[in-house]
Structure 1
Amino acid sequence: MIIELPHTTTGAINKRLIDSRKEGGVITLARVMTLVIDATGADAEQAIATANVASREHPCRIIVIAPGTASEARLDAEIRVGGDAGASEVVVLRPCGDQIGHDDTLVTPLLLPDAPIVVWWPAGVPSDLGKRSLGRMAQRRITDTKGEDDPAGVLLGLAHCYRPGDTDLAWTRLTRWRALMAAALDQVKVPEVTLARLHGDTNSPSILLLGAWLRSTLGCEIEATYDDSVAALENVVLETPSGSIEISRPDGHNATIRQPGQPDHQIALPARSLEEALAEELRRLDADAVYGEVLAAFAEDTAVPL
């Protein structure tokens, strides 16, 4: 159900939320957080659809800021519940005119009491993440540098303004790759890596972050190559004194793992969807210290070509 609220106020929105909860019974009571989505410059409907899928694992109140185009200073809103809101309740705020730019004032009255706040920027990564009004009120701040024209520059900006609680979905997409590499290195006699070769999609922030992680963790050299025809990380080779460890995923779904002294074996390693990546980040509300260390390592290594 979608409830339209044109020319409204946050007080009226809150009252209508309470009424809709009474009408819907307990369906929206077990919410564990408030997820705020700054959809400025993004496809708001796609962001809502993504958050709705993630909310099935993490029931929450979703507040979406999607500025309107009218010059008149006003606030239009929608409340979505039931089948239009996954396992959550969605409030879409469409500020216009002078209402734009007062995100904290609009959002604060709608936050769930005593619940963590997570902010997600699906596009247009802010350069001053922690200084944004939404960023200051959040325990977790989630960005996505995939698709940025200059991912290296954006990552540098994130490194310079990093605060505990920041993370990026380009890093989240590497979780299973990192686990596979760590497990493979545990099985070689001399787990020393002299060279890591990475291959994947052009302008990939994930490859940049993976290179910084491997270099800072293992002290190895990095060689990265890119291909316009692939959509994600495709191949990783770790050179060790015992031989090469290779994880190859040419079809984007199944990976072949080659290790010294062992037969090749395959595992399912599908490219992670945006919904899966967001759901993973919503599972944790503590700071991702490793991500902060990798950002710092990337900033230190910018003179080294990736």
Structure 2
Amino acid sequence: MKIDLTDTTASKINKALVQGRRAIGTPAVGMVLTMVIVTDEENAYDSIKAAEEASYEHPSRTLVVIKRHTRTLHARTTASRLDAEVRVGADAGSGETVILRLYGEVADHADSVVLPLLLPDAPVVVWWPVNAPLDPAKDPLGALAQRRVTDTYTAEQPLRELTERATGYTPGDTDLSWTRITPWRSILAAALDQARMQVTSATVESEADNPSAELLARWLGVRLGVPVERAVSAGPAVTAVRLATAIGEIVIDRPEGPMATLILPGQPPRTLALKTRSTSELVAEELRHLDADEMYAIALRGEPGKEHTRHA
């Protein structure tokens, strides 16, 4: 069910949510958090779709904030208005969705619009699919949240943005570029547990300027205490990790496709599933834990000076 509201208020939006739930016979129970998505019109559809798919694992109220600036026909001042689209039932995954379009001055006070719409006594997650602030915790919307999710992969200069985020990191910050390498980190940890040999150096191969590869290299450098080389490959994303030991290399190689090859010294190669996950899967993973991501902080604040890049 969809309800369109023009030139509305937060109070009218809340009434529309109640009206929609009554119309479809669904009470407001079972929602575990409020997800706030801050995006633009171009990326709104994909972001909403990803959040709705994630809501089947984490039922939530999703508030989509789209800031728009338009001018009136007869004045140079920007018209201030709030339009909303309320979705409940099958049109909103397993939760409920409110798309907020903010015009004029109200766009500069999005937090005041969002605050009355948050679920009471439930955690808040803010996600910027694009154009995230360099210091999310100081953003007015970010200040409302226990968890702040960015995606450095969408930045024009992702490696530079990672450095900026390290400077302004606050517990609760995380990034989907970090989430993308969870399977890589899991396989590497399992391989090292099995091989139990001293690593002397490491190499991470990926397409140029890939923030996930940079975070993986920093994490390996800090956790293993060894120099890590960044090698540029044809991609896509991270294509291989090589850990040098005294008796040979530990290698995870995924040049393309959903399968990777794991090679341990003295053992036959093994094929493992290592697919590229969808945005909804990444968001769902982030919603499973709302406490501070200490490993992300370690990787973000790694010592990139120990790394150097070559072309593979």
TM-score normalised according to structure 2 size: 0.93
Q: 1:133 aligns with which of 105, 126, 140?
A: 140
Classify the secondary structure of the residue corresponding to 1:146: helix
Return the offset for 1:286.
1.0
Q: Is the 8 A contact 1:81 1:89 kept in 2?
A: yes
CA separation in 2, counterparts of 1:26 and 1:76?
24
Q: Is the 8 A contact 2:102 2:110 kept in 1?
A: no
Q: Is the 8 A contact 1:257 1:264 kept in 2?
A: yes
Matched, 1:212 2:218: yes
Classify the secondary structure of the residue corresponding to 2:48: helix
CA separation in 2, counterparts of 1:37 and 1:168?
14
CA separation in 1, counterparts of 2:104 and 2:256?
47
Aligned twin of 2:299: 294
Aligned twin of 2:26: 26
Alignment RMSD, CA only? 1.5
Return the offset for 1:151.
1.0
Spell out the pairing of 1:137-216 with structure 2 (5 A cutoff). 137-190=144-197, 192-216=198-222
CA separation in 2, counterparts of 1:89 and 1:41?
19
Spell out the pairing of 1:1-306 with structure 2 (5 A cutoff). 1-26=1-26, 28-40=28-40, 43-71=43-71, 72-190=79-197, 192-227=198-233, 229-297=234-302, 300-302=303-305, 304-306=307-309
> Structure 2 counterpart of 1:257, which letter?
L
Q: Percent identity?
A: 45
CA separation in 1, counterparts of 2:298 and 2:121?
30
Rate the CA distance shift 1:5–1:189 in 2: closer, same or farther, 3 A: closer
Q: Deviations over 1:242-266 (max 9, x none)?
A: 3111111122300111101211111
Return the offset for 1:98.
1.2
> Structure 1 counterpart of 2:142, which letter?
G
Return the offset for 1:27.
6.0
CA separation in 1, counterparts of 2:187 and 2:86?
42
Rate the CA distance shift 1:41–1:202 in 2: closer, same or farther, 3 A: farther
Return the offset for 1:54.
0.6
Gapped runs of 5+ residues in structure 1? none
Rate the CA distance shift 1:279–1:208 in 2: closer, same or farther, 3 A: same
Aligned twin of 2:74: none
Aligned length in residues = 302
Return the offset for 1:233.
0.9
CA separation in 2, counterparts of 1:141 and 1:185?
31
Rate the CA distance shift 1:97–1:236 in 2: closer, same or farther, 3 A: same
Classify the secondary structure of the residue corresponding to 1:194: strand
CA separation in 1, counterparts of 2:57 and 2:305?
38
Classify the secondary structure of the residue corresponding to 2:64: strand
Q: Deviations over 1:11-51 (max 9, x none)?
A: 11011111111222236521000000011475111110110
> Structure 2 counterpart of 1:277, which letter?
L
Q: Is the 8 A contact 1:189 1:242 kept in 2?
A: no
Q: Is the 8 A contact 2:206 2:239 kept in 1?
A: yes
Classify the secondary structure of the residue corresponding to 1:294: helix
